[in-house]
């Protein structure tokens, strides 16, 4: 464990420190601190467990080596030699597990997400593809047992959206959807095109990890909250009640709104969740920019101006430009079967991170 010794000793020391701190009755009087410590403890437990297992195996290897050295007959030496091989393999396996467990992780991976899809170049065709992507993400989320809720939308007459904002609630949602950030390009014959020419349109996707209240400090005086009458789809109730909510964050000028929920209270909750996530994204943008400058692959950086994927209807293909991967399963992909590309992106991202860790060790 020589390469990781210092780091692992620090981890075990921190683990013991947290256990000791949680035993202090005073910690219970601070729920926020208690929650943070418990979360950190849960993250450290598998690492400490792997450290203990490596040490147990190394101790067993040392004893078996001594038995081999002292063995008086060839049969005992053969048995010890085989046991040493097995122990060496087990130790290497546990060390590999430790390398993965201690590699850099995105602290947002287990969070729910807020996704914003907006039409780019292409007019009505781009708006229609916003609807297609919304359906694709919804189907994928529902297939994993996650909950999809609309926050705000600007529908068009042809059934598309100029923009649609929605949340996906479920542990680990961000770890899958974070790779969707960027510009999505679609190439197809529009339904409004009589000559059969293929048009190219673009849609932008933003993915925000849902921020927790403890992460964003918002003072009541920083907010201006307005109610207004919702418009668009939703039936008579939506058009005759002042249930829509608009929140302005005065220090930054950020404005969010929610009108897709039936209840004013639900709209306010959703709007606040969106505001907190945008503020957290704003806070982290400078840090993420510096990280991106130091990354070679940038698979997971999610630059919103970067063209990440092309959907070609004529050829039935989906091409992800970040990893040069093309699959000819457009129909199933748009129906929510997107794991093949997401898995490949996640693997490329992890490989890039591990290379970064190796570079630091050198």
Q: Is pLDDT of 360 > 80?
A: no
- What is the C-alpha separation between 12 and 51, in angstroms, rounded? 8
Q: How many domains does the structure of the chain reveal?
A: 2
- Do 144 and 273 lie in a common domain? yes
Q: What is the pLDDT of residues 231-250, one digit of tens each?
A: 654 433 444 456 788 887 77
Whole-number percent of the chain with pLDDT over 70 = 81
Q: Is pLDDT of 359 > 50?
A: no
Structural domain includes residue 358: no
pLDDT range class, residue 260, cuts 50, 70, 90: low
Structural domain includes residue 46: yes
Q: Is pLDDT of 14 > 50?
A: yes
- Do 64 and 118 lie in a common domain? no
> What angle is formed at CA 216 by the lines to CA 213 and CA 218, rounded to 5 degrees?
95
Highest mean pLDDT among 76-80, 173-177, 346-350: 173-177
Helix axes 74-102, 5-22, angle to 10 degrees: 70
What range defines the domain where residue 197 resides? 113-351
Q: Is pLDDT of 195 > 70?
A: no
State both tokens at 209: 């990890």
Q: What is the pLDDT of residues 144-160, one digit of tens each?
A: 999 999 888 889 888 89
Is 324 in a helix, a strand, or coil? Answer: coil
Q: What is the pLDDT of residues 96-107, one digit of tens each?
A: 888 778 776 777
**What average pLDDT score do residues 289-300 get?**
42
Structural domain includes residue 362: no
- Do 124 and 19 lie in a common domain? no
- Do 70 and 188 lie in a common domain? no
pLDDT recorded at residue 20:
92
Pick the more confident residue, 1 or 108: 108
**What average pLDDT score do residues 107-116 get?**
88
- Do 63 and 189 lie in a common domain? no
- Do 58 and 174 lie in a common domain? no
Kindly report the CATH number assigned to the domain that includes residue 41: 1.20.58
């Amino acid at each position: 464990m020589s390469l990781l010794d210092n780091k692992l000793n620090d981890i075990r020391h921190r683990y013991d420190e947290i256990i000791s701190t949680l035993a202090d009755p005073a910690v219970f009087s601070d729920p926020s601190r208690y929650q943070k410590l418990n979360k950190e403890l849960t993250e450290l437990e598998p690492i400490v467990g792997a450290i203990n297992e490596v040490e147990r195996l190394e101790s067993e290897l040392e004893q078996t080596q001594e038995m081999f050295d002292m063995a008086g007959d060839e049969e005992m030496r053969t048995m010890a030699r085989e046991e040493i091989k097995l122990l060496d393999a087990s130790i290497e396996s546990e060390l590999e597990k430790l390398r993965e467990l201690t590699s850099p992780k995105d602290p947002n991976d287990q969070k729910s997400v807020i996704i914003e899809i907006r039409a780019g170049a292409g007019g009505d065709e781009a708006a229609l593809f916003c609807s297609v992507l919304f359906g694709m993400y919804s189907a994928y989320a529902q297939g994993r047992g996650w909950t999809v809720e609309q926050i705000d939308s600007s529908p068009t007459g042809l059934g598309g959206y100029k923009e649609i904002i929605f949340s996906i609630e479920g542990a680990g949602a961000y770890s899958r959807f974070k790779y969707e950030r960027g510009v999505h390009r679609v190439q197809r014959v529009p339904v409004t095109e009589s000559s059969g020419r293929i048009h190219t349109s673009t849609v932008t996707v933003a993915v925000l990890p849902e921020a927790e209240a403890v992460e964003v400090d918002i003072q009541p005086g920083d907010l201006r909250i307005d109610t207004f009458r919702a418009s668009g789809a939703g039936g008579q109730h939506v058009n005759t009640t002042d249930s829509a909510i608009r929140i302005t964050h005065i220090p930054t000028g950020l404005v969010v709104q929610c009108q897709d929920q039936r209840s004013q209270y639900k709209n306010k909750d959703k709007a606040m969740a969106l505001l907190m996530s945008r503020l957290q994204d704003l806070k982290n943008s400078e840090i993420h920019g510096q990280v991106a400058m130091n990354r070679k692959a940038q698979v997971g950086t999610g630059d919103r101006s970067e063209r990440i994927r092309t959907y070609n209807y004529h050829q039935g293909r989906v091409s992800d430009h970040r990893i040069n991967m093309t699959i000819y399963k457009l129909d199933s992909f748009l129906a929510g079967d997107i794991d093949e590309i997401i898995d490949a992106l996640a693997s490329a991202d992890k490989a890039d991170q591990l290379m970064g860790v190796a570079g630091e060790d050198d």
